[in-house]
Structure formats: structure tokens, C-alpha cells
């Protein structure tokens, strides 16, 4: 018995369309496309792609409505995505993706949804449009967002999804170029400041003549280091890499980079690195004159590390390295009243004598110290002589001039402080 006209009217048009579509497909699928002319095949493929996009638009609209109604609740599904995955046998992740796209087009991007409904592009294009818009900064004005959506919809009509994704990555440059320049500048400035704030360098002697180190630098300074080293180690195209004289093997790239860093450090223009305390950028190598003459024995770095006399001779030719030859001729070390400040030569001598801050129990190295007139300040008639100079770190130098503290020199040369009572 056929259904009554009243019953047919109660069928929703979308339900009726779905049934009619199924019947139409039944009729079409029984025919073999091999008998289509080439022109018909081209036409059918293009038309099917268009109608498939429109069907997808309809499916996504229904899916958004289904999610609002929580259609999976009746069967106890935890979500619409879980229900859709089970009912249509798609992966849960794909079901969730489709629901997100459906809600995005329905609630936020009507222009993109309309383009899909017209069959102008595929659901893959619509997904790219939705994601590209979601990736934009959240504080953009409505007019910028509207231009962005319209731009992507227009581009989607003649680009593949992959090509459209590239447009999406540069979307802000298209719709608001002035804003991009400002945001890029601010982003880069914040990034650079953050990178400088976390810059680190640590070094640990291994006790075998080598030191391990670790550093973190801003990209700019890392490139400066790399460029300087590669300029040193870059061989001419015709020159083979020389084998190592010890191992007999050609060094690998990392080894050559390390050796290049050694050469860069030995040729630093230290006169441009500042002169805090007189010695901040100067390495003093101490060697006895007899050791230097005979080549027997060792030379010493400021921290007590020993090196060979041959290495000391070589370093004596480098910038920023002072060979302090004990027993040989020296610079004038006593300046009397002619100068208020201790000279560079006096600072070198103090560093060799004091080995760092002379305050009792202080271990700060020479590069952290300042020269102090021990018995009488220069302004009060004191003399700027080596015998009256002593190295103190900034903290203890301030205490030496603090009215609430007194200090005296112990027999071993250390300075002991006392708070005044």
C-alpha cells in the first residue's frame, strides 16, 4: 500500500533528497563509463567533483546540527565524534576533524561555507581556510578577518589545498601588511631579548689538558662565531685537508671547527674588548727566564694551569697575551705621585703576585678585581707604587672605603675586615 500524500509531506527535504540520491546512484552505477566519449568523461569528472563538494557542504551542515543535538546520546556514545566513528566506520580522529570543520564553517566562516556549497572548491580547501583563519592573531579587527576570509575563498577557486596552505601562512601579509611589519618587529625584538637573557657559557677542565664547554647563544652571535671559524678553516678547493700530525688521520669537520676556534681566540683584537680593572681581556703567562731559555720546565696561566715553554713562546706572539718572564727586564712598576691610577704594567705585576682578590677567604680571580691603595689613598698624599697596591674585588674594594668597616693586612698579605663597633 502506498504512503498517503500527507505522510510524504512530513518527510524533510534533506531526507527526501538523500533517498533520491541513492536511487539515482543505483541507476547510474549499472552503466559502464568505458562507453563515455572522452569529452563526456572530462565533463562528468569535473561535474562530479563539483557536486561532491556540494554534498560535502550539506553533510557538514547536517553534522554541525547533529553535534548541537548530541545525536550520540541516545545510544550512550560519549560524543558525536564517537557516534560518527562507529556509525560510519571512520577513524575517531577523522570524525573529530570533520565535526570541528563543520562547527567552524557553521559558526564562524559563512563565506567559506557558501563557497563549498556552490562547489567552487573541495572540503579540503575549506579545512585549509578554516585552519588558516584560526592561526591568525586573536586581536585582529572584524574587518581584517573578513578580508582574510574573502581572500582565501577567492584563492581557493584556482589553487590546490597545498598551494592554498602556503597563501594561508602569509595571509596577514596580504590583508594587513603594515600590521605584519609591526608584529614581526615586536616579535623579533622580544625573541632577541629573550635569547640574550638565557645566553650561557660553562666550562669544566678535564685534567688532561682539555676543557669541556657548553654554550647557548642568540642566533645572531652563534652565526658570528660560525662565520669567524669557517673563515679560518675554509680550505681552497684545490687544497686537501692536512692529516693530524699526532693521529695521522684527517680531522673531521667538528675537529676542524674546534681547531679554528682556537685560532680565532688566539688572535682576538683585545684592545677593543674593554679594560675593566686593567686586565679583563689579557692573559698573563708566567714563565721563568731559565725555563724559557732551556725549554725545561713549564709555564703557568693565572689559574695555575701549566703549559709547555714552547707553547708559552708561541703565545707570546699573540694578541692579548703577556709573557711575564721572571728574572728578565720589566716595565717601571713604581710611579709615585705622578699618577693616581695604577698602570697596566703594575696591574700585571699585582695579578702575578696576588692571584686575585686578597680579601681573606675571597677566591675571585684577577679579572674581577680592582687595584687599591692599601695604606694611604692617592688623594691623601699616597703613592701609586706597586708595594702599596693590592687587588680587591668590587665588593671588598667598596668595604675598604666603607666608613663602618676597618681593615688590616695580615702577615701573609691577605686583607682582614672588621665592622666598627
Handedness of CA 136, 140, 146, 147 (dihedral sign): negative
Whole-Å CA distances, 91 to 12, 64, 82, 84, 131: 29, 18, 9, 9, 20
For the packed helices 142-156 and 161-169, what is the interaxial angle rounded to 10 degrees? Answer: 150
Question: Over the stretch 184-198, which tens digit does the pLDDT of each residue have?
Answer: 677 777 888 888 899
What is the domain partition of the chain in residue ranges? 13-184, 207-262, 355-421
The answer on pLDDT for 42 being more than 50 is: yes
Question: Over the stretch 80-136, which tens digit does the pLDDT of each residue have?
Answer: 999 999 999 999 999 999 999 999 999 999 999 999 999 999 999 999 999 999 988
What distance in Å separates the CA atoms of residue 334 and residue 342, rounded to the nearest whole number?
9
The answer on pLDDT for 236 being more than 80 is: no
Residue that is written with C-alpha cell 688521520 in the block: 249
Query: What is the value of pTM for the model shown?
Result: 0.47
Beta strands in 194-302 (DSSP E): 200-205, 211-216, 283-288, 299-300
4 CB-near residues (< 8 Å, 6+ apart): none
The answer on pLDDT for 313 being more than 50 is: yes
Q: By C-alpha distance, which of 289, 272, 358 is closest to 325? A: 289
pLDDT of 53 reads: 96
* pLDDT-based confidence at residue 370 (cuts at 50, 70, 90): confident
Whole-Å CA distances, 393 to 226, 260, 338, 343, 400: 34, 34, 25, 17, 10
pLDDT of 230 reads: 85
Question: Over the stretch 9-40, which tens digit does the pLDDT of each residue have?
Answer: 689 999 999 999 999 999 999 999 999 999 99
Q: Is 165 left (phi over 0), alpha (psi -120 to 50) or beta?
A: alpha
Name the average pLDDT for the chain: 81
Question: Over the stretch 147-156, which tens digit does the pLDDT of each residue have?
Answer: 999 999 999 9
Amino acid at each position: 500500500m502506498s504512503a498517503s500524500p500527507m505522510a510524504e509531506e512530513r518527510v524533510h527535504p534533506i531526507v527526501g533528497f538523500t533517498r533520491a540520491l541513492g536511487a539515482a546512484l543505483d541507476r547510474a552505477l549499472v552503466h559502464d563509463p568505458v562507453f563515455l566519449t572522452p569529452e563526456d568523461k572530462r565533463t562528468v569528472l569535473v561535474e562530479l567533483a563539483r557536486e561532491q563538494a556540494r554534498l560535502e557542504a550539506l553533510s557538514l551542515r547536517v553534522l554541525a546540527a547533529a553535534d548541537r543535538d548530541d545525536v550520540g546520546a541516545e545510544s550512550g556514545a560519549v560524543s558525536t565524534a564517537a557516534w560518527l566513528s562507529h556509525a560510519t566506520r571512520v577513524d575517531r580522529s577523522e570524525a573529530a576533524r570533520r565535526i570541528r570543520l563543520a562547527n567552524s564553517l557553521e559558526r564562524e566562516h559563512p563565506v567559506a561555507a557558501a563557497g563549498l556549497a556552490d562547489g567552487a572548491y573541495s572540503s579540503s580547501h575549506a579545512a585549509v581556510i578554516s585552519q588558516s583563519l584560526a592561526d591568525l592573531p586573536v586581536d585582529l579587527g572584524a574587518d581584517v578577518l573578513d578580508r582574510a576570509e574573502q581572500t582565501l575563498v577567492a584563492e581557493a577557486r584556482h589553487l590546490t589545498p597545498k598551494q592554498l596552505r602556503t597563501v594561508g601562512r602569509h595571509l596577514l601579509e596580504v590583508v594587513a601588511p603594515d600590521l605584519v611589519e609591526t608584529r614581526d618587529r615586536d616579535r623579533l625584538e622580544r625573541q632577541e631579548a629573550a635569547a640574550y637573557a638565557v645566553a650561557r657559557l660553562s666550562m669544566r677542565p678535564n685534567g688532561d689538558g682539555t676543557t669541556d664547554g657548553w654554550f647557548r647563544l642568540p642566533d645572531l652571535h652563534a652565526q658570528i662565531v660560525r662565520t669567524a671559524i669557517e673563515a679560518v678553516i675554509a680550505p681552497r678547493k684545490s687544497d686537501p685537508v692536512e692529516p693530524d700530525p699526532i693521529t695521522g688521520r684527517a680531522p673531521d669537520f667538528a675537529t676542524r671547527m674546534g681547531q679554528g676556534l682556537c685560532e680565532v681566540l688566539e688572535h682576538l683584537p683585545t684592545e677593543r674588548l674593554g679594560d675593566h680593572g686593567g686586565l679583563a681581556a689579557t692573559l698573563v703567562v708566567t714563565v721563568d727566564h731559565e725555563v724559557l731559555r732551556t725549554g725545561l720546565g713549564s709555564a703557568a696561566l693565572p689559574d695555575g694551569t701549566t703549559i709547555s715553554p714552547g707553547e708559552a713562546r708561541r703565545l707570546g706572539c699573540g694578541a692579548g697575551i703577556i709573557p711575564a718572564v721572571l728574572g728578565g727586564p720589566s716595565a717601571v712598576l713604581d710611579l709615585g705621585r705622578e699618577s693616581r691610577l695604577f698602570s697596566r704594567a703594575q696591574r700585571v705585576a699585582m695579578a702575578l703576585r696576588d692571584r686575585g682578590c686578597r680579601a681573606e677567604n675571597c677566591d675571585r680571580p684577577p679579572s674581577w678585581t680592582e687595584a687599591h691603595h692599601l695604606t694611604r689613598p692617592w688623594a691623601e698624599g699616597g703613592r701609586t707604587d706597586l708595594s702599596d697596591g693590592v687587588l680587591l674585588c668590587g665588593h671588598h674594594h667598596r668595604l675598604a672605603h666603607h666608613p663602618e668597616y676597618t681593615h688590616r693586612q695580615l702577615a701573609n698579605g691577605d686583607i682582614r675586615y672588621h665592622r666598627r663597633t
